Amino acid sequence: MQKRSIVPILYILFLMLPIYWLVAMSFKTTNEILSGFSLFPQTFTLDAYRTIFTDPTWYWGYINSILYVSINTVISVAVALPAAYAFSRYRFLGDKQLFFWLLTNRMAPAAVFALPFFQLYSAVGIFDTHLAVALAHCLFNIPLAVWILEGFMGGVPKELDETAYVDGYSFPRFFVTIFIPSIKAGVGVAAFFAFMFSWVELLLAKTLTAVAAKPIAATMTKTASSAGYELGLLAAAGTLTIIPGAIVIYFVRNYIAKGFAMGRV
Amino acid sequence: MTLELHNVTKRVGANLHIKETSLVLEPGHFNVLLGATGSGKTSLIKLMAGLDPLASGTIKMDGQDVTRLSTQKRNISLVHQFFINYPHMTVYENIASPLKVAGMAKSEIQGRVEEAADILQLRPMLHRRPHELSGGQQQRCALARAIAKESKAVFLDEPLANLDYKLREELRDQLPDLFAGRGAVVVYATSEPEEALLLGGKTALMQDGRVTQFGPTAEIYRNPENVDAASVFSDPPINTARIEKRGDAAHLGDVSWTLSGVAASLADGPYTIAIRPHHVLPLPSDTANVRMPGEVQVTELSGSESSAHFEMGQGSWVSLSPGVHPYQVGETHEFYMDPTACFVFAPDGFRVA
């Protein structure tokens, strides 16, 4: 082994350590976890996973999370596409200010919006629905998606639009059949980030749901308090929470590099 | 099919980007828009294509007023300087796309695409994507799309400017044949005088958003109407100087010569002359006989032509001569001008002889 590879290997080891610990814990019994230090599971068990996949309060947590995250991703990208097109192709009064204002939404803490959203959604009767969380998460995901997509659209020459019009394409047809395919990397990156941020956001998701749309993260905290320390079960739930993100990142890994190169990610 | 512009203008904010322009463009030959960068060639093409709104005036195609007609309905083609193709489509789909949008039958599309691909030697690349092609092939793909569409007007906006020298020459030789006999009005924008001369047809000289002169290319080259037209249509830049006419002699600082022809009959007074660099030579001849001593500033040798920039009195001059001529920078060299090749302009810029 070359000397120069030691540092990155150590770095990766340290990075992976907590994740390894989480995965290892999920295969241990709670007694073993509490009894002392062990690098590998002494009594290997799949009980924790069995519980999650059979108990509806557990697996519905995942289904709820995936549902509202998917709805949010679709809304965010669908709304951001035309908005980003306007920002990248037209000059209008206050366009730069509006663009910056959109970004500031990204910077506001979610806690600020929790109470008004809670009150508003209760009043209109969408409290504790998947749509409630999906809409709330648009607050920070649409600005992000607009920002990312505008960067990618800026890389497409305006002459492409003109060529399409000359060739007879109407605007909607051009937008859907030519423009979106030519920035599909950007759409992938924007969708990925919308997915990730919605997936990891906890405060709004917990505040805006009670039973019917309760996210997995909320299930995890509640189980911890009611049934004492079921650490094996929690570790298994945590492990499963990482998986969707890992799958999505696998599909967009090449696009993300492109996004970094553009300075928009 | 003819394309007519009547008093067309384009306004951006308070500025007129295209000042009142009228042109009648016909098929059967190239209509070259020749002008420097920023002279309004692209703006004018966008107006004709309907991509930008007119501030005033009308555009007619085949006698029909199309001023308010959308770009999509004008049945035109446009090839940009940058190689614009649809990146996610194959070359075949690219060439077929305007036909598909028009709702043409599949079998007919295939025939047209293959014909265009054959003309532009794209047959082996039909199933590749544009980014897998070289620059020249990408531009040929864009040209094939314009040909397959068989539109009434084809706008080529400096289509060769981004190609390297060899490809540019090759494609330029093909261009007139590509559109011959198709009945389309072909408008070709370029900033290179040489390209206009090689393509023939008619040329419209553009400067500061207006057409300064329009007519058969060779005619304009030989007879520029004003100083601007003469300077636009010359590469390297044309030499200009102020002279004083007294009797039948022209005086330019210490240099003077006898005027002949129309120039001799002009009223006495100040005039501007313009003379192309290849009429200012390092050796005397029967015609180039006005001696002009000057200090050589810069010399260039391009293959079989020598050029020298020299200063005489207040003015700087360019000489372009065939063959290799050994200049020394800083030396005083005698150049010889052909006075019969001079264009003479009145102080208001218009040609008088």
Question: Per the CB < 8 Å rule, is B84 touching A169?
Answer: no
Instruction: Write out chain A residues lying below 8 Å of B102, CB-based.
Output: 168
Question: Is residue A38, in this structure, part of any structural domain at all?
Answer: no
For residue A28, give the nearest of A220, A233, A177, A228 by alpha carbon: A233
Cβ-nearest to A162 among B78, B98, B102: B78
* Nearest-by-CA chain B residue for A157: B84
Question: Is residue A9, in this structure, part of any structural domain at all?
Answer: no
Model confidence band, residue B165 (pLDDT cutoffs 50, 70, 90)? confident
* pLDDT of B264: 85
Is the predicted pLDDT of residue A260 greater than 80, yes or no? no
CB pairs under 8 A between A and B: 53
Q: Which domain holds residue B221?
A: 3-232
Question: Beta partners for B343?
Answer: B274
Instruction: Write out chain B residues lying below 8 Å of A184, CB-based.
Output: 88
Question: Is residue B297, in this structure, part of any structural domain at all?
Answer: yes
- Strand bridging mode B202-207 / B249-252: unpaired
Model confidence band, residue A191 (pLDDT cutoffs 50, 70, 90)? very high
* Nearest-by-CA chain B residue for A173: B101
Question: Is residue B352, in this structure, part of any structural domain at all?
Answer: no
Cβ-nearest to B72 among A157, A159, A168: A168
Sign of the Cα torsion B117, B119, B123, B129 reads negative
Residue A189: give its domain's CATH number: 1.10.3720.10
Question: Is residue A91, in this structure, part of any structural domain at all?
Answer: yes
Question: Is residue B218, in this structure, part of any structural domain at all?
Answer: yes
Residues B280 and B326 in one domain: yes
Residues B257 and B224 in one domain: no
The Cα diameter of chain A in Å comes to 74
Three-state secondary structure of A47-109: HHHHHHHHCHHHHHHHHHHHHHHHHHHHHHHHHHHHHHHHHHHCCCCCHHHHHHHHHHHHHCC
Suggest the residue from B71, B74, B138, B155 to mutate for an interface test with chain A (most A CBs closer than 10 A): B71
Residues B192 and B319 in one domain: no
Q: What is the C-alpha to C-alpha distance for residues B142 and B130, in angstroms, rounded to an integer?
A: 10
- Mean pLDDT within A193-203: 91
Question: Is residue B165, in this structure, part of any structural domain at all?
Answer: yes
Residue B53: give its domain's CATH number: 3.40.50.300
Question: Per the CB < 8 Å rule, is A162 touching B49?
Answer: yes
Suggest the residue from B52, B74, B76, B88 to mutate for an interface test with chain A (most A CBs closer than 10 A): B88
Question: Per the CB < 8 Å rule, is A181 touching B88?
Answer: yes
Residues B123 and B265 in one domain: no
If you average pLDDT over each of A74-88, A192-206, A248-262, B299-313, which comes out highest?
A74-88
Residue B334: give its domain's CATH number: 2.40.50.140
Is the predicted pLDDT of residue A246 greater than 80, yes or no? yes
Model confidence band, residue B58 (pLDDT cutoffs 50, 70, 90)? very high
Instruction: Write out chain B residues lying below 8 Å of A163, CB-based.
Output: 78, 80, 84, 142
Residues B168 and B39 in one domain: yes
pLDDT tens column, B100-158: 999 999 999 999 999 999 999 999 999 999 999 998 999 999 999 999 999 999 999 99
Question: Per the CB < 8 Å rule, is A159 touching B51?
Answer: no
Q: Check CB contact of A182 with chain B, cutoff 8 Å.
A: yes
Question: Per the CB < 8 Å rule, is A162 touching B46?
Answer: yes
* pLDDT of A263: 66
Instruction: Write out chain A residues lying below 8 Å of B49, CB-based.
Output: 162, 166
Q: Check CB contact of A163 with chain B, cutoff 8 Å.
A: yes
Tell me the shortest Cα–Cα distance from B72 to chain A, in angstroms.
4
Say whether the ipTM exceeds 0.90: no
Structural contact between residues A164 and A156, judged by C-beta atoms closer than 8 angstroms: no
Residues B223 and B296 in one domain: no
Kindly report the average pLDDT of chain B as a whole number. Answer: 91
Chain B segment 34-53 residues within 8 A of A by beta carbon are 46, 49, 51
Instruction: Write out chain B residues lying below 8 Å of A170, CB-based.
Output: 72
Is the predicted pLDDT of residue A225 greater than 60, yes or no? no
Q: What is the C-alpha to C-alpha distance for residues B330 and A202, in angstroms, rounded to an integer?
A: 79
Model confidence band, residue B5 (pLDDT cutoffs 50, 70, 90)? very high
Tell me the shortest Cα–Cα distance from B143 to chain A, in angstroms.
12
Residue A259 structure tokens: 């996004």
| DSSP for residue B172 | H
Residues B218 and B280 in one domain: no
Suggest the residue from B84, B139, B150 to mutate for an interface test with chain A (most A CBs closer than 10 A): B84
How much helix, strand and coil, in percent to the nearest 5, is found in chain B? Answer: 30, 35, 35
Provide the domain count of chain B. Answer: 2
* pLDDT of B127: 95
Cβ-nearest to A178 among B74, B80, B86: B86
Question: Is residue A53, in this structure, part of any structural domain at all?
Answer: no
Is the predicted pLDDT of residue A223 greater than 90, yes or no? no
pLDDT tens column, B257-286: 988 888 888 889 999 999 999 999 998 988
* Nearest-by-CA chain A residue for B147: A167
Residue A135 structure tokens: 């809409």
Instruction: Write out chain B residues lying below 8 Å of A166, CB-based.
Output: 49, 51, 71-72, 74, 76-78
Instruction: Write out chain B residues lying below 8 Å of A173, CB-based.
Output: 101
Q: Which domain holds residue A98?
A: 61-228+239-262
Q: What is the C-alpha to C-alpha distance for residues B7 and B140, in angstroms, rounded to an integer?
A: 34
Is the predicted pLDDT of residue A30 greater than 90, yes or no? no
Is the predicted pLDDT of residue A72 greater than 90, yes or no? yes
- Mean pLDDT within A111-127: 92
Provide the domain count of chain A. Answer: 1
| Number of residues that make up chain B | 353
Question: Which long-range CB contacts under 8 A does B131-138 form with residues at least 24 apart?
Answer: B131/B87, B133/B91, B135/B83, B135/B162, B135/B163, B135/B164, B135/B167, B136/B163, B136/B167, B136/B170, B136/B171, B138/B83, B138/B85
**Phi and psi (nearest 5°) for B66?**
-115, 15
Is the predicted pLDDT of residue A217 greater than 90, yes or no? no
Q: What is the C-alpha to C-alpha distance for residues B209 and B38, in angstroms, rounded to an integer?
A: 8
Q: Check CB contact of A184 with chain B, cutoff 8 Å.
A: yes
